[in-house]
Structure 1
Protein backbone atom coordinates (compact mmCIF):
# COMPACT_ATOMS: atom_id res chain seq x y z
CA UNK A 1 0.00 0.00 0.00
CA UNK A 2 1.51 3.25 -1.04
CA UNK A 3 0.95 6.52 0.70
CA UNK A 4 0.02 9.36 -1.49
CA UNK A 5 2.45 12.20 -1.06
CA UNK A 6 0.97 15.62 -1.46
CA UNK A 7 2.28 17.36 -4.50
CA UNK A 8 4.63 20.28 -4.14
CA UNK A 9 1.88 22.62 -5.33
CA UNK A 10 -0.51 21.41 -2.64
CA UNK A 11 2.12 21.87 0.08
CA UNK A 12 2.89 25.34 -1.24
CA UNK A 13 -0.84 26.21 -1.35
CA UNK A 14 -1.31 24.93 2.20
CA UNK A 15 1.67 26.96 3.42
CA UNK A 16 0.32 30.10 1.74
CA UNK A 17 -3.14 29.48 3.24
CA UNK A 18 -1.57 29.04 6.68
CA UNK A 19 0.44 32.26 6.35
CA UNK A 20 -2.57 34.22 5.03
CA UNK A 21 -4.75 32.88 7.85
CA UNK A 22 -2.16 33.69 10.50
CA UNK A 23 -1.45 37.12 9.04
CA UNK A 24 -5.16 37.84 8.65
CA UNK A 25 -5.81 36.89 12.27
CA UNK A 26 -2.95 39.09 13.40
CA UNK A 27 -4.22 41.98 11.26
CA UNK A 28 -7.76 41.66 12.65
CA UNK A 29 -6.39 41.56 16.19
CA UNK A 30 -4.32 44.69 15.50
CA UNK A 31 -7.37 46.52 14.09
CA UNK A 32 -9.42 45.63 17.17
CA UNK A 33 -6.61 46.69 19.50
CA UNK A 34 -6.07 49.90 17.53
CA UNK A 35 -9.81 50.73 17.69
CA UNK A 36 -9.83 50.10 21.44
CA UNK A 37 -6.75 52.29 21.90
CA UNK A 38 -8.38 55.05 19.86
CA UNK A 39 -11.53 54.78 21.98
CA UNK A 40 -9.47 55.07 25.16
CA UNK A 41 -7.53 58.05 23.79
CA UNK A 42 -10.83 59.80 22.97
CA UNK A 43 -12.13 59.06 26.48
CA UNK A 44 -8.95 60.50 28.05
CA UNK A 45 -9.29 63.63 25.89
CA UNK A 46 -12.95 63.99 26.91
CA UNK A 47 -12.10 63.66 30.61
CA UNK A 48 -9.26 66.18 30.28
CA UNK A 49 -11.63 68.60 28.59
CA UNK A 50 -14.22 68.19 31.36
CA UNK A 51 -11.56 68.63 34.04
CA UNK A 52 -10.25 71.82 32.43
CA UNK A 53 -13.79 73.24 32.30
CA UNK A 54 -14.26 72.59 35.99
CA UNK A 55 -12.77 75.62 37.65
CA UNK A 56 -12.10 75.94 41.31
CA UNK A 57 -14.90 78.12 42.57
CA UNK A 58 -13.96 80.93 44.88
CA UNK A 59 -16.09 81.02 48.02
CA UNK A 60 -16.46 83.70 50.69
CA UNK A 61 -14.98 83.24 54.13
CA UNK A 62 -17.23 83.57 57.19
CA UNK A 63 -16.00 87.15 57.60
CA UNK A 64 -16.60 88.07 53.95
CA UNK A 65 -20.09 86.53 53.91
CA UNK A 66 -21.00 88.19 57.23
CA UNK A 67 -19.73 91.55 55.93
CA UNK A 68 -22.06 91.13 52.94
CA UNK A 69 -24.95 90.63 55.38
CA UNK A 70 -24.00 93.33 57.88
CA UNK A 71 -26.48 95.92 56.57
CA UNK A 72 -29.32 93.43 57.02
CA UNK A 73 -28.41 92.82 60.68
CA UNK A 74 -27.28 89.22 60.14
CA UNK A 75 -24.09 87.18 60.06
CA UNK A 76 -23.39 83.67 58.78
CA UNK A 77 -21.09 80.82 59.70
CA UNK A 78 -20.64 79.09 56.34
CA UNK A 79 -20.60 75.29 56.30
CA UNK A 80 -20.65 74.67 52.53
CA UNK A 81 -20.77 76.65 49.28
CA UNK A 82 -21.63 75.38 45.81
CA UNK A 83 -21.45 77.14 42.44
CA UNK A 84 -24.79 78.46 41.21
CA UNK A 85 -25.90 76.80 37.98
CA UNK A 86 -26.10 79.12 34.98
CA UNK A 87 -25.44 82.32 36.96
CA UNK A 88 -22.37 83.77 38.65
CA UNK A 89 -21.82 83.30 42.34
CA UNK A 90 -22.22 80.61 44.95
CA UNK A 91 -24.98 79.35 47.19
CA UNK A 92 -23.82 78.83 50.76
CA UNK A 93 -25.50 76.97 53.58
CA UNK A 94 -24.69 77.61 57.19
CA UNK A 95 -25.92 79.03 60.47
CA UNK A 96 -27.40 82.52 60.11
CA UNK A 97 -27.44 84.66 63.23
CA UNK A 98 -29.47 87.83 63.68
CA UNK A 99 -27.15 90.54 65.03
CA UNK A 100 -29.55 93.49 65.40
CA UNK A 101 -33.14 94.17 66.34
CA UNK A 102 -35.51 92.38 68.69
CA UNK A 103 -34.37 88.95 67.47
CA UNK A 104 -30.65 89.65 68.01
CA UNK A 105 -28.79 86.49 68.99
CA UNK A 106 -31.25 84.16 67.27
CA UNK A 107 -29.57 81.53 65.09
CA UNK A 108 -31.01 79.17 62.52
CA UNK A 109 -29.77 77.14 59.56
CA UNK A 110 -30.23 78.76 56.17
CA UNK A 111 -29.07 79.11 52.59
CA UNK A 112 -27.92 82.38 51.01
CA UNK A 113 -26.39 83.27 47.65
CA UNK A 114 -23.30 85.43 47.21
CA UNK A 115 -21.36 86.84 44.27
CA UNK A 116 -18.05 88.66 44.16
CA UNK A 117 -18.68 92.04 42.52
CA UNK A 118 -15.75 94.43 42.02
CA UNK A 119 -13.66 92.32 44.40
CA UNK A 120 -16.21 92.42 47.24
CA UNK A 121 -18.61 89.63 48.25
CA UNK A 122 -22.26 90.67 48.16
CA UNK A 123 -25.47 88.82 48.94
CA UNK A 124 -27.56 88.21 45.82
CA UNK A 125 -31.03 86.79 45.26
Structure 2
Protein backbone atom coordinates (compact mmCIF):
# COMPACT_ATOMS: atom_id res chain seq x y z
CA UNK A 1 0.00 0.00 0.00
CA UNK A 2 1.14 3.51 -0.73
CA UNK A 3 0.47 6.53 1.44
CA UNK A 4 -2.44 8.72 0.36
CA UNK A 5 -1.90 12.40 -0.38
CA UNK A 6 -4.79 13.30 1.93
CA UNK A 7 -3.52 11.36 4.96
CA UNK A 8 -4.63 13.18 8.16
CA UNK A 9 -6.41 15.99 6.26
CA UNK A 10 -10.09 16.84 6.11
CA UNK A 11 -11.39 14.70 3.27
CA UNK A 12 -15.17 15.06 3.19
CA UNK A 13 -17.94 16.93 4.99
CA UNK A 14 -21.51 15.68 5.07
CA UNK A 15 -24.62 17.65 6.00
CA UNK A 16 -27.99 16.10 6.81
CA UNK A 17 -30.50 18.48 5.20
CA UNK A 18 -34.27 18.73 4.88
CA UNK A 19 -34.27 19.68 1.19
CA UNK A 20 -31.37 18.89 -1.15
CA UNK A 21 -32.62 21.27 -3.86
CA UNK A 22 -32.73 24.14 -1.35
CA UNK A 23 -29.18 23.37 -0.16
CA UNK A 24 -27.91 23.20 -3.77
CA UNK A 25 -29.53 26.55 -4.53
CA UNK A 26 -28.08 28.21 -1.42
CA UNK A 27 -24.49 26.95 -1.71
CA UNK A 28 -24.46 27.35 -5.50
CA UNK A 29 -25.59 30.99 -5.22
CA UNK A 30 -23.39 31.90 -2.25
CA UNK A 31 -20.18 30.04 -3.16
CA UNK A 32 -20.46 28.73 -6.76
CA UNK A 33 -20.22 25.10 -5.61
CA UNK A 34 -20.92 22.38 -8.18
CA UNK A 35 -23.02 19.28 -7.58
CA UNK A 36 -23.40 15.65 -8.60
CA UNK A 37 -26.59 13.77 -7.72
CA UNK A 38 -26.54 10.18 -6.48
CA UNK A 39 -30.27 9.54 -6.36
CA UNK A 40 -33.01 11.48 -4.60
CA UNK A 41 -31.45 11.26 -1.11
CA UNK A 42 -27.81 12.17 -1.78
CA UNK A 43 -25.97 14.93 -3.59
CA UNK A 44 -22.21 15.46 -3.61
CA UNK A 45 -20.86 19.02 -3.65
CA UNK A 46 -17.47 20.31 -4.71
CA UNK A 47 -15.96 23.69 -3.97
CA UNK A 48 -12.94 23.20 -6.22
CA UNK A 49 -10.76 21.86 -3.41
CA UNK A 50 -12.91 19.78 -1.07
CA UNK A 51 -15.93 17.55 -1.63
CA UNK A 52 -18.78 16.67 0.65
CA UNK A 53 -22.39 15.67 0.54
CA UNK A 54 -25.95 16.63 1.31
CA UNK A 55 -28.20 13.78 2.46
CA UNK A 56 -31.76 13.42 3.66
CA UNK A 57 -31.02 10.09 5.40
CA UNK A 58 -30.97 11.82 8.80
CA UNK A 59 -32.36 14.91 10.47
CA UNK A 60 -30.35 18.16 10.21
CA UNK A 61 -27.94 18.49 13.16
CA UNK A 62 -27.02 22.15 13.48
CA UNK A 63 -23.95 22.64 15.60
CA UNK A 64 -21.04 20.25 15.71
CA UNK A 65 -17.72 21.21 14.14
CA UNK A 66 -17.48 24.69 12.68
CA UNK A 67 -16.83 24.51 8.95
CA UNK A 68 -14.78 27.53 7.85
CA UNK A 69 -14.47 28.73 4.27
CA UNK A 70 -11.95 31.22 2.91
CA UNK A 71 -12.74 34.33 0.84
CA UNK A 72 -10.46 36.87 -0.80
CA UNK A 73 -13.18 39.55 -0.49
CA UNK A 74 -14.97 39.07 2.82
CA UNK A 75 -17.51 41.86 2.36
CA UNK A 76 -18.56 40.65 -1.09
CA UNK A 77 -18.87 37.10 0.19
CA UNK A 78 -21.04 38.21 3.11
CA UNK A 79 -23.34 40.00 0.65
CA UNK A 80 -23.56 36.84 -1.48
CA UNK A 81 -24.44 34.75 1.58
CA UNK A 82 -27.17 37.21 2.56
CA UNK A 83 -28.54 37.38 -1.01
CA UNK A 84 -28.64 33.56 -1.16
CA UNK A 85 -30.74 33.47 2.03
CA UNK A 86 -28.12 32.92 4.73
CA UNK A 87 -28.52 34.64 8.10
CA UNK A 88 -25.49 36.47 9.49
CA UNK A 89 -25.10 35.47 13.14
CA UNK A 90 -21.72 37.16 13.77
CA UNK A 91 -20.94 40.13 11.51
CA UNK A 92 -17.38 40.62 10.27
CA UNK A 93 -14.94 40.82 13.17
CA UNK A 94 -11.17 40.80 13.65
CA UNK A 95 -9.32 37.86 15.13
CA UNK A 96 -5.55 37.25 15.40
CA UNK A 97 -5.32 35.53 11.99
CA UNK A 98 -7.47 37.98 10.01
CA UNK A 99 -11.18 38.75 9.83
CA UNK A 100 -14.28 36.57 9.58
CA UNK A 101 -18.04 36.32 9.89
CA UNK A 102 -20.43 33.52 10.84
CA UNK A 103 -23.72 32.64 9.19
CA UNK A 104 -26.40 29.98 9.27
CA UNK A 105 -27.64 28.19 6.17
CA UNK A 106 -31.31 27.35 5.51
CA UNK A 107 -31.11 24.21 7.71
CA UNK A 108 -29.57 26.09 10.65
CA UNK A 109 -25.96 24.93 10.24
CA UNK A 110 -23.49 27.59 11.40
CA UNK A 111 -20.47 28.13 9.17
CA UNK A 112 -17.83 30.84 9.03
CA UNK A 113 -15.91 32.61 6.29
CA UNK A 114 -12.50 34.13 6.97
CA UNK A 115 -10.00 36.26 5.12
CA UNK A 116 -6.44 37.37 5.78
CA UNK A 117 -5.98 41.02 6.68
User: Where on the TM-score scale, by shorter chain, does this alignment land: which range?
Assistant: under 0.3
RCO higher in structure (CA 8 A, sep ≥6): 2
Choose 1 or 2 for highest CA Rg: 1
TM-score normalized with structure 1 length:
0.22
TM-score normalized with structure 2 length:
0.23
Q: Specify which structure has the higher proportion of helix.
A: 1
